[in-house]
Amino acid sequence: MVETRDRSVAPTPGWQLIQAFYVLLLGVSAVGFLAPPLDTREGRWGVGLALANLTLVLLGAAVTWFAYRQRQRWAWWVVLATGLCYGLPMTVIDHLLVGWMGPVSVLEFLLLALWAIGLLRGSRAIFGGRRETDGT
């Protein structure tokens, strides 16, 4: 079944929180460019990981803006996968191997909270069959 875009349907609740999640992840990409010079393995890996993170951020932000906001179910699953395969493992690994890192840890938990609350707020609208109109 092909999902069509209906302009009378209000945007998915919580989509702004998920968009904020991806925008804040841009900072992670910026940190990767502080890696050692590119003539070292660490430098090449750092820049490569920063570019991979940037790719995830751009794709996630586009899916959120163009599909999740329009209540397309497949987009909910894509947003869920990005958090479960990237955000959650990154935070768990950081805390298991490094421990509490002050502001960095706060930012990691803030990002996960934005992602989770955005998904929860949108899940009923996307899967519950409830359609809210924007009043037009």
Residue 133 has pLDDT above 60, yes or no: no
Please list the helix, strand and coil fractions of the chain in percent, rounded to the nearest 5, in that order.
Answer: 70, 0, 30
pLDDT at 4: 56
User: By percentage, how much of the chain surpasses pLDDT 70?
Assistant: 88
With a cut of 60, say whether residue 132 has pLDDT above it: no
**What mean pLDDT, rounded, does the chain reach?**
85
pLDDT in tens, 51-102: 888 999 999 999 999 999 999 999 999 999 999 998 899 889 988 998 888 8
**The pLDDT of residue 30:** 78
Q: Please give the pLDDT value at position 72.
A: 95
128: helix, coil or strand?
coil
Query: Which residues fall within 8 angstroms of residue 36, CB to CB, at 6 or more apart?
Result: 42, 43, 46
Residue partners of 117: CB distance under 8 A and separation at least 6: 14, 17
In the chain, what are the domain boundaries?
A: 15-127
